[in-house]
Structure 1
Amino acid sequence: MEEDRAGTDIGLAAEIEEQQRGEQLELEEASEQADEAPSNGEPKREESAAAPDTATETTTEPTGMLDTEAAANTPAIAQNNSSQAPTASAEKPALRQPKKRFVGRRAAAEAAAAATPRSSDAVSVEDAGAVGAAPRPRARRPARLLNQVPAELLDDPALQAAVALLPVNYSFEVPKTIHRIRTLGARRVGLQMPEGLLLFATTVADILEQFCPGTETLIMGDVTYGACCVDDFTARALGCDLLVHYAHSCLVPVDVTQIRTLYVFVDIRIDASHLVAALERSLVAATTTLALVGTIQFNATIHGLRPVLERAGFGVLVPQIAPLSKGEILGCTSPQLADAAPDRQLAILYLGDGRFHLESIMIHNPGVPAYRYDPYARKLTREAYGHAEMQDLRRAAIRTARGARSWGLILGTLGRQGNPHTVAAIEARLRQRGLPVVTLLLSEIMPHKLARMSADVECWVQVACPRLSIDWGYAFARPLLTPYEALVALGLRDDDWARAPDGAVGGVYPMDFYGRDGLGRTRAGEIV
C-alpha cells in the first residue's frame, strides 16, 4: 500500500475541478482556433468523436448564474495516453501549440516557433503540450480533456427518457459517463456513492448497462463518508476497468488512483431566490460580509450567488484552502478567515444540509458567527458550537497521553483515508523516545474493538478521520488522538488552545488536515 501511495499529489484537486467547470468554454475556444488554422490547400477536416485528445490547460471563472445547467454534457478529464499521438511530416502543417496559463501572446508565439519540429521528427501530443512556460518545481502531467460528448448521444431520445427517471435537479452526468465507458472500452465499471445517493444507484447502473452493451456495473456498498473514501484499491481488486465516484471532489487525483477514475460531483441546482430573500430579512446587508462555503454539490450555486448578494449590498467573499476549490470545505479541512473591514461584521454562510462540514469551519473560526441554509427544508438558521467543551475534552486527552508508556497507531483502510507516511513519521517520533508501538489497520474504528486491546495500549493515534477523535473521542476507554494532537502531546507542536485553562476557548484548533501542508498530505520520508 505504501508503494501505491508514494508520490501522491492531491494538489491537483482544485485544478481538476476548475477545469471541469470551464471545459465547455475551452472547447468553444478550440473550435474558434481550428476555424482560423491554415489549411495549406487541403480541405478542412471536420472533427469527430474519434479525434485524438488535445492537451490544454486553462482556468476559467464560474458563469455567475444561479441555476446553471449541470455539467452532465461536458467532457471529463482523461489520463495521459500517447498511443494515438499524431506525427508531423513535411506535407502536413506543424501541430498547433495549445494555450498555457500565464503565457503572453508574444512569449507563446516565440515558444511555438522555437518548438516547431523538423519534417523528419515525430511529435506526440505530450511533446506538443510543452510550451515554453517557466518550469515548475514539480513536474506535472498536462491536463487532458476527453472528446466532447457526441451530439447523437446527447440527443438520443431513449437516453433522455431514461435519464428522466432520475431527479431533474441532480446532475449524474450520465451522457458523459456513457461516453467515457465507450471511449475506454470498459467492461466492468464500479459505482461508488455516499449513503444519500444509494437509492439512485440501481437506476444509474441499469441506464449504463442499457446504453453500454457488454458492460457490467458493480455497486460498491461499503460506507463512503467523503472524498477521502474513494476506493480505487477495492475496485481494482474486483477487476474493474473504471471507477465512477459520485458526489465528492477529486481529493485523490485521477493520475494517482490505481485504475481509471471518473469523478461526478452531482451538481445540485436549487432556486436561490428564497435564500437571498431570507438573508435580506435576517441580516443588515450594508454592515455584513458573508463568507460563502458549502460542499462540492453546491459549488456552482455558491459562485452564482456572489454577484446577486453583492447587488443586494452584502460584502461577499468565497474563501479557499488549497488545494480545495474556492468555497469548498470538508469535515476536516476548511479555511481560516481573515478579519472583515472595520465597519462590517464577518459571518459564515454554509449552503447544504447537515452540520458536519459546517462544524469544520466553525471550529477553525471560533469567533465568527455562522448561518446555515438548508436548500431542502428552505430554512436559514443561526448555528452554534461548543468550542470550550470541545477544547476541554481534547486538552484532557492530550494530558493523559503525555503519561502513556505504550502507544497504538491506527492506519485507516476505508478507501484512501489512511496515510501510511503519516503513520511512519509518528512512529519514528515515538521510537526516538523509546516508547513501544503497536500498529493496527482498521476500516472503521469502534470503541468496543479498541477496548479489547487497551490493556496493553495506553494511548491510540488514529490516522483516518480527525473528526472521529474530535466528535467521538470521549467514547473510547483510552485517549484517541489525531496526528496533530499526537504531535502536541509529544511537545512537537505548541498552540495557544492547548495551553489554555479548562473552560476557556484558548485559541484556534486547526482544521487543515488535507490543506497543502496538512498531516493528511505527509510524503515518504517527511519529518513531522
Structure 2
Amino acid sequence: MDLSGPAPFADTGAEVIARTVQVTLENHADTEAALEIFYELDRSVERIQQVGASRVALQFPDEWLPDAARVAQALEARLDGVQVVILADTSYGACCVDEVAASHADAQMVIHYGRSCLSPTQNLPVLYVFGREEVDVDRAASALLEARKGLEEESTSTCQDWLLTGDVQYAWALEGVAASLRTLLPDGANVYPAHIPKEQLLFPHSTPRKDEEEVQAPCCSGNKEGEAVILFLGAEGPTLSNLMITHGQYPTLSYDPATDRARKEALAVNRTLMRRYYLVQKVKDADVIGIVVGTLGVASYMRIIEHLKGVIRAAGRKSYLFVMGKLNVAKMANFPDVDAFVLVACPETSLVDSKEYLKPIVTPYELELALVRGKEWTGRYVTDFHTVLLEAESTGEDQDKGEDEDDDDDERPHFSLITGQFKDTRRYQSDASNNEALVSSLMMGSEGQVSVRNKETALALLSSPATERLQAREFRGLEQRLGETEVADEIAVGRKGIARGYDHEKE
C-alpha cells in the first residue's frame, strides 16, 4: 500500500458516473402486435382520455426499459396533443408509483408498468399495467397439487381451504389456475383466488390493498391453525417474503412458471422472525432514533411520520427525520450517532435486511412493539403502516398522554436483552419538564431551547443528543488557541489542493 498518496477510499467520483448496473433486460414485444397486447395500448389510450391528462408519465422497471421508447411513441401517435415522458429511474422502490419524479415532469397521470405493491397513491391518478407473463394454468395446478401431497404427508390434518395469490404479472391467470385446481382437488376443498382490481385505473386514496383481512378471510372461516394453505404463483421476491412473514401461521406453497418448480416456502420464516425480534430489542435500547422517509407517493405517509414522532417522544427518546431516497450501507453509515432507524415505506420495501448496516432498520410496527407501553408481540406481524395508523386511531391512542403524568413505571429502567444490564427508559425528557426542574439555573436561548453554561463557559443544550455525543468525542475539531501560537519569522508556502489529495501527494 502506497502511503504517500491519497487514501484509497478517496477518488474523483468518476467511478460513480461510469458505474454499470447489472440488470437483465427483457424485451416483451418483438412485433407491433406483441407490443399492443403486452402493454395494453388500447386500454391505456382509453384511460388517458377518461382522465383528460395532457401530459402522462410512464414508469418502467429497469428490465423493461428497452421497450419504453416504442411504447411512448405508440401512445403519442394515438393521442393527439398528449405529451408522454419516460421515468427511467425511481426515487424509491420500483414497485411504488414515483410521484416525485412525475411531479418534476409536470405529469397529470402516471402509467406504472410491471410488478407493483398496489400501495395507495397520494396525488396523481395511476393506471397499472402489470404485463402478461406466460404461464400454463394446467401445469401450474398440477405442480401445486404435487407439492400439496408432500405437505399432507408431513401433517395429520387435511387442508380444505386454499388461497391462491401471486405476483401481479400473473394476475390474469389466477382464475384459470383456480378453476383447474377445483377439478383436481377432492370434494369439499375450497380454492379462493385473490382479488386484483380489473380496472386498474386508481385515483388517490382509492387504491385497494392486498391487506391482511383480504388475504386471511378464506383461511379464517372456522379453520384451526395449519388447516389452510396459501398458494403463490410467481418467483421468490419481496411479494412472497412479505406474504410469508405476515401469514407465517399458514404453510405456503409456491410455483414459479419461469423455472417450472413448485416447493414449500415456510422453512425460513421462523429464522426471519427471530432476526426481526432481535432488531426490536435493539430499538428498545436506542436513545436516538432516525425516521427514514422511504416514500413520498404512498398516501398517509405524513400521518405515519407524525405518529412515529409521537411514539418516540412519549418514550423519552429523540427523533430525527431523514429523506435520502434509496438506502445503501454507505449512505446510512453517515449518521453514526443515530442508534436505530425506522423506515416509512410500502409493505414490500419496508423489510430491510440490516445485517450489513451499522445500525438496525425496523418497520413502524416494530417500533411500536419496542416503545409503546403494554404492546407485546403475539405472533401477528404487520408490514403495512396503514394498518398501524388505523389501529392507533381505532383505539384512540394518545402517545403523548404519559409525559405529564406521575407514573413510576415510565421512569423505571428496563432490562436489556442485548447488553444484559438495566437501561434508563426515558433519557430525553420534554423541554417543559426540564424547565420546571432547572428554572433557577437556566438561561433561555434565542429560540426558546433550554440551555445551561458550565464552568468553562461552554454552552451545552439540555436534552440534546447531538451535544452529548459531541462532548463525548475525543476529537471535536481543531483548537484555535488564539494568541498562544508564535508568529514565524519566515513565511512558508503551504500545501495546495484539497484534503482528498494535495498536489505534492499526486507527484
TM-score by length of 1: 0.57
Q: CA deviation at 1:228?
A: 6.3
Is 1:442 the equivalent of 2:307? no
1:406-417 paired onto structure 2 within 5 Å: 406-413=288-295, 415-416=297-298
- Give 3-state SS (helix, strand or coil) of 2:354's partner: helix
Cα 1:342/1:446, change in 2 over 3 Å: closer
For residue 431 of structure 1, report the CA deviation from its aligned partner: 1.9
Distance 2:372 2:125 in 1: 42
Any idea what SS the aligned residue of 1:408 has? Answer: strand
- Report the counterpart of residue 70 of structure 2 in structure 1: 203
Q: Show the counterpart of 1:262.
A: 127
Q: Distance in 2 between matches of 1:344 and 1:416?
A: 34
How many angstroms apart in 2 are the aligned matches of 1:469 and 1:330?
A: 15
Structure 2 CA distance for partners of 1:470 and 1:384, relative to 1, 3 Å: same
1:458 aligns with 2:326: no
Which residue of 2 is the match for residue 370 of structure 1? 252
1:65 corresponds to: none
Determine the structure 1 residue equivalent to 2:486: none
Residues 493 and 203 of structure 1: is their aligned pair in 2 closer, same or farther, counting only changes over 3 Å?
A: farther
The yes-or-no answer on 1:317 pairing with 2:191 is yes
**Residue 263 (structure 1) shift:** 2.8
After superposition, residues 172-191 of structure 1 pair within 5 angstroms as 172-182=39-49, 186-191=53-58
Question: CA separation of 1:527/1:377 partners in 2, compared to 1, >3 Å: closer, same or farther?
Answer: farther
Q: Work out whether 1:164 is the aligned partner of 2:36.
A: no
Of structures 1 and 2, the one with the larger relative CO (CA 8 A, separation 6+) is 1
Q: CA deviation at 1:206?
A: 1.9
Aligned residue for 2:220, secondary structure, equals coil
The 8 Å contact of residues 122 and 298 in structure 2, kept in 1 or not, is answered as: no
**CA 1:161/1:348 → structure 2, altered by over 3 Å: closer, same or farther?**
closer
Query: What are the within-5 Å matches in structure 2 for residues 118-517 of structure 1?
Result: 163-166=32-35, 170=38, 172-182=39-49, 186-223=53-90, 229-247=96-114, 251=118, 257-268=122-133, 270-284=135-149, 287-289=158-160, 290-314=162-186, 315-318=189-192, 329=210, 335=216, 337-338=219-220, 345-413=227-295, 415-416=297-298, 419-454=301-336, 456-465=337-346, 470-492=351-373, 494-496=375-377, 507-508=379-380, 510-513=381-384, 517=387
Within-5 A mapping of 1:44-83: none
The amino acid that maps onto 2:179 is P
1:191 Cα deviation from its structure 2 partner = 0.2
* 1:451-508 deviation per Cα after TM superposition (whole angstroms, max 9, x unaligned): 1112x211211112456564412222122221111111113463345xxxxxxxxx34
Q: Which runs of 5+ in 2 are unaligned?
A: 1-28, 201-207, 400-507
Inter-partner Cα distance in structure 1 for 2:75 and 2:117: 22
State the aligned residue count.
351
Contact 1:192 1:243 in 2 (8 A): yes
Task: Please give the per-residue CA displacement for 1:221-266, whole angstroms capped at 9, x wherever unaligned.
Answer: 223876862123432331223321223569455xx65344333343
SS at 1:318's partner residue? strand
1: CA distance between counterparts of 2:56 and 2:42?
15
**Cα 1:260–1:383 shift into 2, 3 Å:** closer
Measure, in 2, the Cα distance between the counterparts of 1:198 and 1:399.
Answer: 42
**SS of residue in 2 equivalent to 1:229:** coil
Contact kept in structure 2, 1:334 and 1:360, CA below 8 Å: no
Structure 1 counterpart SS, 2:353: helix
Distance 1:472 1:344 in 2: 27
3-state secondary structure, aligned to 2:245:
helix
Q: Is the 8 A contact 1:425 1:526 kept in 2?
A: no
Shift of 1:297: 2.8
Amino acid paired to 1:300: W
* Equivalent-residue separation in structure 2 for 1:488 and 1:344 (angstroms): 26
The alignment partner of 1:398 has SS state of helix
Distance 1:229 1:489 in 2: 28
SS at match of 1:371: strand
Is 1:209–1:215's contact at 8 Å kept on the other side of the alignment?
A: yes
CA distance in 2, matches of 1:391, 1:323: 31
Is the Cα contact below 8 Å between 1:350 and 1:370 reproduced in 2?
yes
Deviations 1:158-181 (A, max 9, x none): xx997414285x3x2201222344
Q: What is the Cα-based RMSD across aligned positions, in Å?
A: 4.1
**Partner SS, residue 475 of structure 1:** coil
1:91-110 paired onto structure 2 within 5 Å: none
Contact 1:188 1:215 in 2 (8 A): yes
AA matched with 2:325: S
Unaligned runs of 5+ in 1: 1-159, 498-506
Letter in 2 for 1:420: M
Q: Is the 8 A contact 1:401 1:459 kept in 2?
A: yes
Q: Distance in 2 between matches of 1:345 and 1:203?
A: 49
Report deviation, 1:427.
0.7
- The one-letter code matched in structure 1 to 2:128 is Y
Structure 2 CA distance, aligned partners of 1:417 and 1:473? 26
TM-aligned CA distance change 1:403 to 1:357, over 3 Å = same
C-alpha change, 1:451 and 1:436, in structure 2 (3 Å) is: same
Q: Which has the larger radius of gyration?
A: 2
- Provide the residue aligned with 2:406 in structure 1: none
Distance 1:163 1:432, change over 3 A: same
2-side partners of 1:378 and 1:421: how far apart? 43
Structure 2: distance between partners of 1:260 and 1:466 = 20
| Distance change >3 Å, CA 259–CA 369, structure 1 → 2 | closer
Matched to 2:75, the amino acid is L
